C-alpha cells in the first residue's frame, strides 16, 4: 500500500476493524518512511457475469433501478427498495463465489420482491422469465394464490379464467 503523502510502499498496519457486516475492513496504517498515518478501506469485490460473458461489479443501484421500474405506481418506497437490494446482495454473497451469473442475481430478486409487492413481482417476473402468453401470467398468479391459501382450503378468489367465464356468462345474459 502506497503512502498517500510520500508514495513510499512500506507501511505498517496499526489497527484493523471490520465494518458493514464484515464486507469491509478498515485499516489504520503508519508509513515507515515519513511516519504519517492514514486509513485504507478494503472491500471484497463481487462480480456479475452477464449473458454476453462480460463481467462487471455488483451494484445495488442497478438492482434498485431494475426493481423500481416494476414498482412504478405501487406503494413501494425508496427504503423498501434499499432493503430489497441489501437482501439480494446478501443472498448473492452467501453463495461464496466472487463471480455470479446475472441469472442468479435475478433469481435472488424474485423472492424478496414477491414478499414486498405481488404486482411488482409479476411485472418483474414477466420480463425476467419472458412471459409470452396470458397462460404464463395465469400460471404464476395461480402459484401466488396457492402459496397464500392455507392447505386444504378452497381458493377464496376465482382464477382469471373462471372470472372471465363468469363475466362472459353475465354479458351473454344481458343480450
Residue 45: the pLDDT is 83
Kindly report the pTM of this predicted structure: 0.62
Residue 78: the pLDDT is 93
Task: Let me know if 110 is exposed, middle or buried by CB neighbors in 10 A (0-12, 13-18, 19+).
Answer: middle
CA pair distance 98, 57, nearest whole angstrom = 10
Residue 144: the pLDDT is 87
Sign of CA dihedral 67, 70, 71, 73: positive
HSE at residue 4, side-chain half, CA atoms within 13 A, is 6
CA pair distance 127, 73, nearest whole angstrom = 17
CA pair distance 36, 136, nearest whole angstrom = 63
Residue 171: the pLDDT is 44
- Residues of the chain under the 50 pLDDT cut: 155-175
Residue 161: the pLDDT is 41
Per DSSP bridges, beta strands 11-19 and 99-101 are: unpaired
Amino acid at each position: 500500500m502506497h503512502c498517500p503523502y510520500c508514495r513510499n510502499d512500506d507501511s505498517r498496519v496499526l489497527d484493523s476493524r471490520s465494518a458493514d457486516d464484515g464486507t469491509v475492513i478498515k485499516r489504520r496504517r503508519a508509513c515507515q518512511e515519513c511516519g504519517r498515518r492514514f486509513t485504507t478501506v478494503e472491500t471484497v469485490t463481487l462480480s456479475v457475469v452477464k449473458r454476453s460473458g462480460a463481467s462487471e461489479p455488483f451494484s445495488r443501484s442497478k438492482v434498485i433501478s431494475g426493481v423500481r421500474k416494476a414498482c412504478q405506481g405501487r406503494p413501494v418506497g425508496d427504503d423498501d427498495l434499499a432493503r430489497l437490494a441489501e437482501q439480494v446482495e446478501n443472498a448473492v454473497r452467501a453463495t461464496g463465489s466472487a463471480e455470479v451469473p446475472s441469472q442468479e442475481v435475478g433469481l435472488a430478486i424474485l423472492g424478496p420482491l414477491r414478499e414486498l409487492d405481488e404486482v411488482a413481482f409479476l411485472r418483474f417476473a414477466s420480463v425476467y422469465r419472458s412471459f409470452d402468453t396470458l397462460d404464463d401470467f395465469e400460471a404464476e398468479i395461480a402459484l401466488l394464490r396457492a402459496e397464500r391459501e392455507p392447505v386444504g382450503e378452497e381458493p377464496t378468489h376465482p382464477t382469471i379464467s373462471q372470472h372471465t367465464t363468469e363475466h362472459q356468462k353475465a354479458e351473454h345474459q344481458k343480450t
